[in-house]
Amino acid sequence: MSNVEFQDESSGQYRSRVVFGQPQTPAVIRFIVKTGIVKDEKKAGVLLISLISISFLVATASIVRLSGKEEIRYNFSPEVIKALPVEAQKKIHEANK
C-alpha cells in the first residue's frame, strides 16, 4: 500500500494560489472578511456562491421574460388583405391594433 496523506480541509480556509511558496487566500475572500461583512473565510465563500446563484437566476428570468414579448405586426397592402379569407383578415386586423 502507498502512504497517502491528505490535508485536513475542514478548517474552512481557502488556499487557491501559491506565490513564492506561500499559499494565499483569494483577494475577494480577504476583502469580504476584512470589511466585516462575514466573520470567516468559509462564510465569505458561501456568500459569494449565493450572490452568483441569485445573479444567475435574475439574469435567466429576465432573458426568459423579455424574450416572450415579441410584437408581430403585419404590413400587407390592402389589396393583399382583401384577397385573404375573412378569418385571416380578422387576425391581421387584431394584430395590428
What cell does 55 get?
445573479
Q: Can you give the C-alpha Rg of the chain in angstroms?
A: 30
Q: Give the best-scoring range by mean pLDDT among 7-11, 19-23, 91-95.
A: 91-95
Which one-letter amino acid corresponds to residue 76? F
Which residues, 6+ apart, have CB-to-CB distance to 72 below 8 Å? Answer: 95
Tell me which residue has cell 466585516. Answer: 36
pLDDT tens-digit map of 40-69 = 999 999 999 999 999 999 999 998 887 766
CA–CA dist 70, 84 (Å, integer) = 24
* Whether the predicted pLDDT of 32 surpasses 80: yes
* CA angle (93 as vertex; 92, 95 as ends), nearest 5: 65
CA–CA dist 36, 31 (Å, integer) = 9
Helix, strand, coil shares of the chain, percent, nearest 5, are: 55, 5, 40
- Average pLDDT of the segment spanning 61-79: 77
